Each structure stands twice: as C-alpha cells, then as structure tokens.
Structure 1
C-alpha cells in the first residue's frame, strides 16, 4: 500500500520482504523480525512481538513497533498505523537533520577571534595616531582621513584567499590518500580531531554477508571473490547443487535485479 494512502488507525498486513510505509503498533506477530538499520545502525534484524514496552524505551528496544523506513525480514504480522509522514520516527529524524546547526569549525572560530582582535587593535592605533596629530596641531580633517585610511589598510583583505588556498591544497592532498572531503573547512577540522568514535557496521564494513565456502561430505569448495566475473558452477557429484537448491527453496529473501542486494533476512540474502 503506498504511504500516501495510509492514515492513523488503518490495519496493515505484513509479510517477509515488505517495506514498512508508516509507524505501526503490532497487534499480531508470528516469527516477525525487521531490518531497522536505517534508523538504529544495527545490521542485525530485530525480533518483534506484541508485548508492550516502557515509556522510556529507546527506538531499538521498542519490539512492539514497526517504523517507516524499515523492512520485514522474516515472519508475518498485523499492525495499526499510529504515525505517518513527519509524525513517524523517520520524519522526526528528518526534521532534526534539517533544524540542526552545523556549527563552526575550529578554523572558523579562530578566524573570528583573530578578526575581532585585529579590528580592536586597528581602531586603537588609528585613534592614537589621530590624537597625536590633533595634539600636534595638524588639520582635524586630514588626521581623520589618515586614521580611516590606516584602518582600511590594516585589515588583511587577502586573509580569506590565503585560507581558502591552504584548505584547497589540504583537500587535494587528502584526495591523493583516497579521502573525499565535501567542505573545505572539514580539512582543518579533521586535522584538529583527537578521538573518533564510530560504528564499524556499514562504515568500516559493507554491511552484508557473502558466501565464501561450501562445506559438504565430499569436501569444501572455495567461492570466487566478488571481483571474479566467472560464475560458480556446482560440482559434478551433485552435492553442491543439492545444497544450493535447498538454500534457495528454504528462503524468503528477494534479490534486487539491478545489483547484488536484496530484502529479507541478511543470512538468507
């Protein structure tokens, strides 16, 4: 059912491979599990049931709920729509991202502090020179013009250009190390970083499992690497063919035609 056709109170039937189009409260569940990696970052499917949870339960612990943006990996269930559009957890995250303040990088903060210091120092020097000239009996108009000219000349107009060139060179050097940086200011931010906390799933790994070896009574068969375009051919004794046939038939996953991804239980995919 398209997401735009759902409203709170609708009853939704779910089966393995279905994409969840709204936030649902489960009223029936049979061996149900959902892939919520888009919301929680956890690649392992979450088992679902109809038992209520506490009011302070985190999103990943709300086992009686299905959320928009997730998909059913196995089992079946029935749910009641409780949120659509921006009223869903995915919509709330979208709002938080749109409203989030990107903040200023350490370089931007330092440049702002330097600019304030330069402005006050320039004003002080210009005022001192004007005062000395006035005390010496110079023309007030001339001294005022001299002070303004000095203040304008003391401001380093070329500073932004120099900073941009330095950051561009840093971005170029990072690209040579296979690190792509979207914003120039991120180059300096990365250099000022002391600790990085990261979840490896999907960041340091590909967030998918691959069959590498078939173990049978007749022996083991090593599978070709992803980069090898040659297709796998089952052994002539038929054991590998039987093993693969069983794995395919006892399987609820669906493969994408365009690539090697799919929907369903990660093990079955």
Structure 2
C-alpha cells in the first residue's frame, strides 16, 4: 500500500507581482508521482470617483497595479472605464495574466437620492436706503445654505445698493448639486441726506455732477458706490469718505498729472 505526502511550496506566478501554489505528491519511497501548480495574479487597487452619485450619474472606475489585462465585472476592459449606475452597485476588477488565476478587487458605488427641501427666505426689510444692511434668513434647508452673495449659513447680512436686488439661498448636500432654493427681492432707494450714499448713474468723469445720484460731486463726507459696469475717469483730485466698488471701476490717468482719490485720515 502506498502512502502519499503533499507538500505546498510558494513560487512566483509572475515575477515580482504575484504568487502561485505548487503541490507535489510523493510515494513512500520518496518518488514524486504528481505535480500541480495554480497561480494567482496580483489584486489591483481599485478606485471609484465619485464613490456616491445620483441615479444615472457617470462614475470613473480605475484600476492600478496590474501588469496584465484588467477585466471588469461589467464586461469592459482596460485600467480606466466609465459606468452609469442607477442603484448601489459593487464593481469587480480582475487582473488577468497568462497562466495565473486572476487577482480580483472590488469597489462599491452608492446611489444617493437627492430630496429637495422646501426652502423659504425671509428678510428684515424689503426697502432700504442705499448702503443700509439687511438680514436674510433661510428656513427649511437640512443641508448647508449658500447665498448668491457668496456667504454661507442660514442667515446673511448684506448691504443693499441698486434699485432692486435678488438674493438667492441654495440648499446643498453631499453629492447633490442642489437640494432646493428660494429667493427674495430687496429694493434700495437713494437719497441726498446725511448718511446717504452717492451712487453712479452712468460712466463718465469724476467731476461731472450728472454722473452722481444727487447731481453733485462727492466730498470727504460722502460714501460713494460704483455701480456695476460704470467706468469713472479720475480726471481731477477726487474726495470721498468711503469707496464701495459694486462692479464699477475707477480709471486713473496713465500720464501726468496723476490724479487720485483722497480719503479722510483718521
């Protein structure tokens, strides 16, 4: 009666990257009677970007560390592929090398259902004088609120310039471009009393009274607002208490005399 002894040895299936198991069988006299080899390729490193998406949104899958051919569970081949899942899905990447059992790695892409929140916006005032602050408050957002002014948070304090301005609050959540939004309007009115702001009505020269909302040139006691799109030539030495650029621009002379705007020294 013969007795068999099985010895397992680790040998390289693919140089440096993978391993194979070699099983040798011997009889009682020490004679080898069989040899079986089974190797496995390396497990690739698999990444999904992004790893959570809305249904039907594209996801880039990439596999690295495979010296052979990458085959995906979707039937696609190559280190980089694109998929469009509609439900949470696990994807597998196999590293295929001749003579080796494929090494396999998995990655899961989660599907996020973006539910719109019922967002509303309230304002502390709907009509204010130019330069006066207004508090905006957003309600109903379960994520993060982003305002059209660039501010974030459930509330924002803004200074109003211009006849009518729309302010929008957008509710954002991870992996959701928008989870609801709402807007409100605030009207600004100009005046020529103490504390009012002089605003530009058109492009022109600093010393042209028709450029300014009160029909007069600004002084050291005036805050001035450069409305969007207005280009003001600094053709004289100008004076202002405060300069607010709402999209307008001052054009300084490029040759002598080099006029500028003078502000109070406190």
- Whose strand proportion is higher, 1 or 2? 2
| TM tier relative to shorter chain | under 0.3
**Per chain length, whose mean CA-contact separation is higher, i.e. which structure has more relative contact order (CA < 8 Å, sep 6+)?**
1
Larger-gyration structure (1/2): 2
TM-score norm. by structure 1 comes to 0.20
TM-score norm. by structure 2 comes to 0.20
